[in-house]
Amino acid sequence: MFISITPHPIFQRDGNDLYCRVPVPMTVAALGGQIEVPVMEGEAARVAIPEGSQSGRQFRLRGKGMPSLRGGGFGDLFIETVVETPMNLTRRQKELLREFAEGGSEKTSPESTSFFARVKDLFSGAGAEKADGQGSH
């Protein structure tokens, strides 16, 4: 006897654990808030999203995965956030985002700031090595 399991449109399964990618509005990711996520019972669970959450942040909902075939409980549901960039903005929304961008600093975008600092160091270090004749050939 063969059993065929078709892929689920929302959940991926690994043993008794389930995985799900959930879109989070940019405003909720930045300011914090709550989102509803689907669970196997057909209802929704509320998940608190901390202020400043980034795409890829994972949350674990214990006991919200698949039941164990041998009894003994349920697996877990792992939620991965995907921060959504807004589209089709009104003129006013664009103005507000431009104002926000102008007032930005290293504190508002620490990941970008550190990434571009590393890129700058990489290129300035590579340029200095070549000037010294120490660059690789």
Over residues 92-114, the pLDDT tens digits come to 999 999 998 888 766 777 777 77
Final residue before a domain boundary, out of 72, 87, 102: 87
Q: Are residues 63 and 125 in the same domain?
A: no
List all residues 6 or more positions away from 28 whose beta carbon is below 8 Å from its beta carbon: 34, 35, 49
Domain match, 31 and 73 both: yes
Q: Are 15 and 58 within one domain?
A: yes
Both 9 and 55 in one domain: the answer is yes
Residues 81 and 92 in one domain: no
Number of domains within the chain: 2
| pLDDT tens digit sequence for 46-87 | 999 999 999 999 999 999 999 888 878 999 999 999 999 999
Q: Are 74 and 98 in the same domain?
A: no
100-105 own/partner pairs: CB under 8 Å, 24+ apart: none
Residues 16, 44: one domain?
Answer: yes
